[in-house]
Chains A and B, each alone.
Chain A
Amino acid sequence: MPGGAQVNARGWGWRHAGRSRWAVRDLELTIEPGERVLLLGASGAGKSTLLHALAGVLGGDEEGEATGVLTVDALPPSAARDHVGLVLQDPDSQVVMARVGDDVAFGCENAGVPRVEIWERVHDALEAVGLQVPLDTPTASLSGGQKQRLALAGAIAMRPRLLLLDEPTANLDPAGVAEVRDAVARLAEATDATIVVVEHRVAVWTETVQRVVVLDAGGGVLADGRTDAVLARESGRLSEAGIWVPGPAPERTRAAPVEGECLLSARSLAVGRTPFGTRTAQAVASDIELALQRGRALAVTGPNGAGKSTLALTVAGLLPPVGGTITAEDGFRRGLRPEPMRWKSRQLVSRVGTVFQDPEHQFVRTRVRDELAVGPLATGADRARTMRRVDELLSRLRLSRLAEANPFTLSGGEKRRLSVATAIATEPDLLVLDEPTFGQDARTWRELAALLDELLTAGHSVMAVTHDDALVHVLADDVLELGDSRVRRPGALTIAEATR
């Protein structure tokens, strides 16, 4: 096993092309060979930028402007690329090859490793991350957690001296998070490589890392030291910056749920999608009974692949039911047919607001301000009233500064806030959210939870698909566990019960 690499930053900074603000600046940092470092910082503090720079994939002069010096083993990162492994956040966009074995081998091939040795390394790497599947397994058939472990295997097969992990668990369900964390922990014991992890959720990594470095959004380093010391000393500031510091879970603040007017109910509902090239839909979940009421929140939980997202899309009038019925009540449909799937798009938007799992899928305009105006204008609201509503939402969700920006250029937290804002812009009776807290920092999480509370108190109904125990605890009045399709009534609702 090769040893670890040393990382050095002397007055280093980076500004993306076309931006006035520096993503990272005045960074002074030394990471010794073999150290395991957790890199923290508020959204936009430049954590990912630093990681990409260390991996040598930040690009050349066209991509941005650098100052100062950044080295890996005294080399510029682009020259040290063969010794550096990088694992990114999105499981789907880092799979290169169609089969598991080939994907792990890809990096070794590029590094010019002889053929016989490549396959030894592939076996070792897959064993190290605990992904023991046949080498010809199609990569498309892996779960999110398995794909991230595959990416990890691909990185360590290159025998890196420096391993960089950029929010490797942000898009995973709790089981996937545990898989990846355990794989990294095992790896940390087996190699001398230097490891740098970027992550919002500190608790996941405290066992694995010894040192925490907090980047300051204004430039430089905010805090640096042993994990426990930094967490004890800086807990308040970290929490304010949106970092999930270990501590008591958020408490429920909303008053006890009431029995509100029923908006929509589902009887013996089966949901599913129609695969491309076939005529019949395949049901992924069936026998679902649910009712959505004003002032009440329903959380939909269950393992990956249980059909939660499909259910959400079906209830939101975006997918036809495969079986059973969805019936909108009079006070909700206001003269329309009872099946939401048969409403026109502009009729739907004033009744149901949908927040998709991937915010990028739902953006349709090139400016944040226009994006927010789409819904209200579609319902026929006049321009002046729409603009007032847009301004109100911009300031309510801390987006005023970004009113003229392109939605695609926002940070993850900003995109999530914008996607929620677009869904509530038309003041829909029902808000349907799919994994609204995936990959969000603690600050966005708190704001989101507070906003949903507010909407519920004002008499809206909320349905949220989520893996997030804390969100279920704070928000849910009813829990529907798919795989065991019946609605649990609240009262003695506990987290354990909600997520079993």
Chain B
Amino acid sequence: MSLVLTGRLRSSRIARVNPVAKLAAALLVSLTLVLSIDWVSATVALALEAAILPFTGVGARQFWLRTAPVWVAAVAATVATALYGADAGFVLWSFGFVTVSQGSLMLAAAIGLRVLAIGLPGVVLFATSDPTELADGLAQLVHLPARFVLGALAALRLVGLFVDDWRALARARRARGIGDGGGPIGWLRRLGSQAFALLVLSLRRGSKLATAMEAKGFGGSQRRTWARASRFGRAEVVMVLIGAGVAGCAVAAAVAAGSWNLVVS
């Protein structure tokens, strides 16, 4: 379970906000930031996000654990752009096709900061959201189909079982005499067949769950009611405004600095 969901969310000001509002805020920031590639807007957005971080209630360990992939992506994008990005200005270092110039370094910084500014709010806001509440909100406020939203929610719960299943399958293979040997090729073959076994196991579990859901009247023609009301009140409006504010400040600062360059023009 811990893989996907935090058992109990830490209570914080932001954790109490409807996940749909958090999703909207995160979308506002990311959609704005993909419009331009410059380091000013990304830096401003990142700084403002850092100021909001303490209010999310996400602990340091949780923060680094969950955002690790974003940092890896940011570093990878920065290095790649620095080496292969469009060159301009003073050339600092060059080796064959690889040229690091003043221009490509500026671009690299813009890209790296941008990946962080877009990725971090999404990951952090998700870490403070309960999937059930998000599903309630998406169905009741955004009016996505209940069948889709609840199906995805139920499936999410099964994802947590993957790790245990994978280990159980590995043990079973060892117990059956086919758990090792054969060199790298044998290892690859075992990996493939075990992955397939995991797929079969998941499908069987999924179909059992579908039967249980169907027996409880899920997917019937009856109009569904919702036990938990999903509300969009003042806190939610404030959350969206904060998102809009971060996006607005980033754009304003970049335009003022003259670095704003629209990607689609």
Contact = CB atoms under 8 A, between A and B. Distances in A.
A422 B176 contact: yes
Interface residues of A, number: 71
B2 to A, nearest CB: 7
Given A106-B218, A345-B174, A88 B211 contact: yes
B213 A348 contact: no
Interface in A350-366: 350, 352-354, 356, 358, 360-362, 364
Interface in A139-160: 140, 151, 154-155, 158
Nearest to B135: A97
Interface stretch (A15-23, A66-74, A111-119, A177-185): A111-119
B131 to A, nearest CB: 7
A318 B197 CA distance: 19
Contact of A352 (B175, B219, B226): B175
Contact of B132 (A56, A99, A110, A114): A99
B227 A360 contact: no
A102 interface: yes
Contact of B177 (A90, A138, A349): A349
A140 B226 CA distance: 22
B181 interface: yes
Contacts of B172: 356, 361-362, 364
A316 B176 CA distance: 12
Interface in B6-20: 7-8
Given A109-B226, A374-B177, A102 B132 contact: yes
Question: Which of A96, A154, A349 has most chain B Cβ within 10 Å?
Answer: A96
A371 B70 CA distance: 44
Given A115-B229, A316-B175, A158 B224 contact: no
A96 B216 contact: yes
Nearest to A94: B212
Nearest to A426: B177
B178 A81 contact: no
Question: Which of B160, B200, B220 has most chain A Cβ within 10 Å?
Answer: B220
Question: Which of B197, B212, B220 has most chain A Cβ within 10 Å?
Answer: B212
A360 to B, nearest CB: 7
Contacts of A254: none
Contacts of B5: 98
B217 A110 contact: yes
B218 to A, nearest CB: 5
A285 interface: no
Contacts of A98: 5, 130-132, 157
Contacts of B218: 96, 106, 110
B148 to A, nearest CB: 15
B225 A118 contact: yes
A243 interface: no
A374 B229 CA distance: 55
B132 A348 contact: no
A313 interface: yes
A111 B217 contact: yes
A346 interface: yes
A209 interface: no
B98 interface: no
B220 A110 contact: yes
A321 to B, nearest CB: 15
A38 B3 CA distance: 42
Interface string B204-223: 11001101111111111011
Contacts of B131: 98
A346 B169 CA distance: 16
Contact of B176 (A86, A109, A362): A362
B132 to A, nearest CB: 6
Interface string B127-146: 00011100000000000000
A426 to B, nearest CB: 7
B255 interface: no
Contact of A109 (B2, B157, B163, B225): B225
A108 interface: yes
A263 interface: no
Given A90-B208, A364-B172, A107 B177 contact: no
Contact of B212 (A96, A114, A378): A96
B236 to A, nearest CB: 20
A153 to B, nearest CB: 12
A62 B55 CA distance: 53
Nearest to A97: B132
A193 interface: no
A41 interface: no
A364 B212 contact: no
Contact of A348 (B174, B205, B223): B174
Contacts of A378: 176-178
B76 interface: no
Contact of B217 (A81, A313, A358): A81
A362 B179 CA distance: 12
A85 B214 CA distance: 11
B86 interface: no
Contacts of B179: 345, 348
B188 interface: no
A276 B223 CA distance: 41
A354 B227 contact: no
A327 B181 CA distance: 24
B234 interface: no
21 contacts: A57-B211, A82-B220, A88-B212, A96-B154, A97-B154, A108-B225, A138-B7, A155-B216, A158-B217, A277-B3, A317-B174, A318-B171, A318-B174, A318-B175, A345-B174, A348-B174, A350-B177, A356-B175, A358-B168, A361-B169, A423-B175
Interface of B: 1-3, 5, 7-8, 130-132, 153-154, 157, 160, 163, 168-169, 171-181, 193, 197, 200-201, 204-205, 208-209, 211-220, 222-229
Given A98-B130, A360-B201, 16 more contacts: A52-B211, A56-B214, A57-B214, A94-B208, A96-B157, A96-B209, A96-B213, A97-B132, A97-B153, A109-B226, A110-B222, A113-B225, A118-B225, A151-B212, A344-B180, A379-B177
